[in-house]
Amino acid sequence: MKMPIKEFARLSGVSVRTLHYYDEIDLLRPASVDGQTGYRFYDEDSLLRMQEILFYRELDFSLKSIAEILSSPHYSKEEALEQQKTLLTLKKERLERLIDAIDGALKGENVMKAFDNSKMEQYMEEAKARWSKTEAWQEYEAKAAGRTAETEKDLGEQMMAFFARFGALRGEDPDSEPVQQVVAALQQFITDHYYTCTKEILRNLGQMYTVVGSMKDNIDARGGAGTAELAARAIEIYCSK
């Protein structure tokens, strides 16, 4: 399927001027350009890429961030769609909170908490870091170079074993020495095998444990219900010291 730019603009819901700009910044190139007239043409692959761009734009990612994500050699459409689904769900929940907050404000209630968007912001940062060439990601690539699939699987099992340890401590105070020792060991394991796990990075990971559905479910499956919450609280305490 070959579409002139006006038809593509109509299908995608953006202006021709926007498509010209996306072409200029290498975000979305035409599938072909007529050598004589200079007319731009798009195809089905163009529509798929535009779909990805529009999802990220809906989530308020900058064009620069979108370009970095889509150009990453590690980019996976399937993983990205899962991330986008989680982000859109968080956005939906926030909008519902704001709608409820209007009713509260009309009654004279303090509704400032409804404006808290920290969970979505944290997950957006994780999504950007996953595909962008951050120092941490570059360090991970260097450490992972040459590792076999079997080794990666073994490391993944070792990682999940930490959540079994957290699970065995459910009911303990997250600030207790046994729980905090598991946090310290987890931080060191990540540093040894993946990237330098600063307290800032560790805090972000801990916050993700209770935000990302599949991640939370996997952790609770390994350690029992409430494990992800315990790990997140313990990590927050550890990183605040």
C-alpha span between 78 and 84 (Å, rounded): 10
Domain ranges, ordered by start, for the chain: 3-58, 74-132, 134-241
Q: Is 226 helix (H, G, I), strand (E, B) or coil?
A: coil
Q: What is the CATH number of domain 3-58?
A: 1.10.1660.10
Structure tokens at 97: 């909170």
Asked whether the predicted pLDDT for residue 207 surpasses 70, the reply is yes
Looking at residue 120, what is its pLDDT?
59
Residue 33 · residue 39 · CB < 8 Å: yes
Most confident of 39-43, 87-91, 117-121: 39-43
Asked whether the predicted pLDDT for residue 155 surpasses 80, the reply is yes
Asked whether the predicted pLDDT for residue 48 surpasses 60, the reply is yes
Could you report the per-residue pLDDT of 174-204, keeping only the tens digit for each?
Answer: 999 999 999 999 999 999 998 888 898 888 7
Looking at residue 103, what is its pLDDT?
78
Within a 13 Å sphere around the CA of 81, how many CA atoms are in the beta-carbon half?
6
pTM reported for the whole predicted model: 0.49
At a CB cut-off of 8 Å and minimum separation 6, what does 77 contact?
A: 52
Could you report the per-residue pLDDT of 110-146, keeping only the tens digit for each?
Answer: 766 656 656 656 656 666 665 555 566 677 777 878 8
Is CATH 1.10.490.50 the right assignment for the domain spanning 134-241?
Answer: yes
